[in-house]
């Protein structure tokens, strides 16, 4: 899958591609048919492997027919039944029985989301590991603290990195807490067809139908945006601190220019910031769709989710992967940090003098406050999160 409109999209691989979506829907149908046979509801003669019945060339066929029914499941089921009719008429007869199109499509999205979350969790772990190393290495590296774009008081680069780490850990926690249940509600969420067939729904899933209760989707969207928020936070600092007039940070391999050979742009940080600027709107669309649910299956609110979720997942995967690359090659110029701190002069210690005067003692030699302890807490949290000993 390639998307020239989103440079770096290839980093997301096959996650939420149309082909992956088609395979996931076939997998749902296959698992359901196997379950019907295994429970004795469908005859043993209906057992068949569906994986070879649908291939890449069928994507265009299903896509072309999807508009008529409003979703791709209807066309897919028709195609599968047609191909099952001669080799296994019992399988054709029992295929999809007890399900509705939303059950298949939602469960397919859940399967895709589980794979994406696994990949995302692994990259968030990598990013955290790199941040832990940076925070420990620069625990005492002094620099100017900046608030509202201006010099404020002294701080350390280690504390800045610990702040980045906290954001990534928050995102990781949200991603790992996600519940992604399969969908099984039948035509109107009553599971009437299952009951009629003699299937006990509680033996198939422990989650009630969520046809029109879309927290599964909105929570996923919110967790994904939390990831791009955390990565965007890192990218924003790197973009600011890599400006030539500051020069405290630099990407390992800056991007070039089509016309200016002197340029070494912090390209990956630019692209991560791009994601952070666009993913919240995608999550907002998921919430709007959830708020637009009506009746027992919705007219448009459900349909608005699919492509929105695809873009949100892929953009998040790309942004986190790019952040890992940024951190793995980040150049920290401690000498520039020290020079900026020295050039800021006595003004940086104005607050300290006021506090010391109020407390009735001379100012301390440094004014880093509790920075060291805050870094230690962030590192301890990270080690605990990933069950690391060091």
Measure the CA–CA gap between 370 and 133, rounded to whole angstroms.
20
Find out whether 264 and 255 touch, Cβ atoms under 8 Å: yes
How far are the Cα atoms of 82, 111, 231 from residue 26, in angstroms, in the given order? 14, 11, 35
Instruction: Count other C-beta atoms under 10 Å from residue 336's C-beta.
Output: 16
Spatial distance between the Cα atoms of 366 and 142, rounded to a whole number of angstroms? 10
Handedness of CA 271, 277, 283, 289 (dihedral sign): negative
Decide: helix, strand or coil at residue 270: helix
Could you tell me the maximum CA-CA distance found in the chain, to the nearest angstrom?
94
Closest listed residue to residue 81, CA positions, set 57, 97, 105: 97
Spatial neighbors of 223 by CB under 8 A, at least 6 apart, are: 171, 174, 175, 177, 178
Query: Residue 139: which of 334, 323, 363, 336 has the closest Cα?
Result: 334
Task: With CA atoms as reference, report the closest residue to 165 among 381, 384, 390.
Answer: 381
Q: Which of 45, 114, 243, 257 is catalytic?
A: 257
Please state, in angstroms and rounded to a whole number, the distance separating the CA atoms of residues 125 and 106. Answer: 28
Angle at 62 between CA 218 and CA 187, to 5 degrees: 55
The string of DSSP letters for 299-325 reads SSTTTTHHHHHHHHHHHHHHHHHHHHH
Q: Which of 11, 233, 297, 310 is catalytic?
A: 297
Distance CA 372, CA 122 (A): 28
What's the token pair of residue 114? 């589980």
**Per DSSP, what are the bridge partners of residue 265?**
255
Bridge partners (DSSP) listed for residue 331: 250
45 catalytically annotated:
no
Q: Dihedral of CA 95/97/98/99: which sign?
A: positive
Task: Let me know if 389 is a catalytic residue.
Answer: no
Residue 341: Cβ within 10 Å count: 17
Which residues are identified as catalytic? 257, 297
């Amino acid at each position: 899958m390639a998307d020239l409109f989103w440079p770096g999209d290839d980093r997301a691989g096959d996650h939420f591609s149309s082909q992956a979506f088609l395979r996931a829907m076939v997998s749902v149908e296959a698992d359901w048919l196997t379950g019907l046979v295994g429970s004795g509801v469908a005859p043993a003669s209906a057992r068949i492997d569906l994986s070879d019945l649908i291939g890449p060339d069928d994507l265009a066929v299903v896509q072309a027919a999807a508009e008529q029914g409003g979703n791709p499941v209807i066309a897919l089921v028709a195609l599968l039944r047609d191909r099952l009719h001669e080799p296994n008429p019992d399988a054709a007869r029992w295929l999809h029985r007890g399900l509705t199109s939303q059950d298949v499509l939602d469960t397919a999205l859940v399967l895709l989301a589980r794979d994406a979350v696994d990949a995302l969790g692994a990259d968030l772990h990598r990013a955290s590991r790199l941040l832990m190393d940076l925070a420990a290495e620069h625990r005492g590296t002094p620099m100017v603290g900046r608030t509202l774009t201006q010099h404020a008081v002294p701080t350390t680069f280690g504390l800045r990195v610990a702040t980045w780490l906290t954001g990534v850990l928050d995102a990781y926690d949200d991603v790992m807490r996600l519940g992604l249940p399969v969908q099984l509600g039948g035509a109107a969420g009553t599971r009437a067809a299952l009951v009629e067939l003699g299937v006990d729904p509680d033996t198939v899933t422990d989650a009630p139908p969520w046809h029109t209760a879309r927290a599964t989707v909105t929570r996923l969207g919110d967790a994904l945006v939390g990831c791009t928020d955390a990565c965007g936070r890192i990218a924003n600092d790197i973009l600011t601190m890599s400006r030539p007039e500051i020069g405290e940070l630099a990407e390992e391999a800056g991007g070039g220019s089509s016309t200016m050979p002197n340029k070494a742009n912090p390209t990956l940080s630019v692209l991560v910031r791009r994601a952070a600027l666009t993913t919240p709107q995608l999550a907002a669309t998921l919430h709007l769709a959830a708020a637009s649910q009506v009746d027992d299956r919705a007219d448009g609110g459900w349909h608005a989710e699919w492509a929105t979720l695809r873009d949100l997942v892929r953009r998040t995967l790309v942004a986190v992967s790019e952040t890992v690359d940024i951190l793995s090659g980040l150049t920290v110029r401690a000498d520039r940090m020290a020079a900026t701190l020295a050039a800021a002069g006595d003004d940086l210690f104005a607050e300290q003098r006021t506090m010391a005067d109020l407390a009735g003692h001379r100012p301390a030699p440094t004014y880093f406050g509790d920075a060291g302890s805050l870094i230690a807490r962030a590192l301890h949290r990270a080690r605990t999160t990933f069950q690391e000993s060091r």
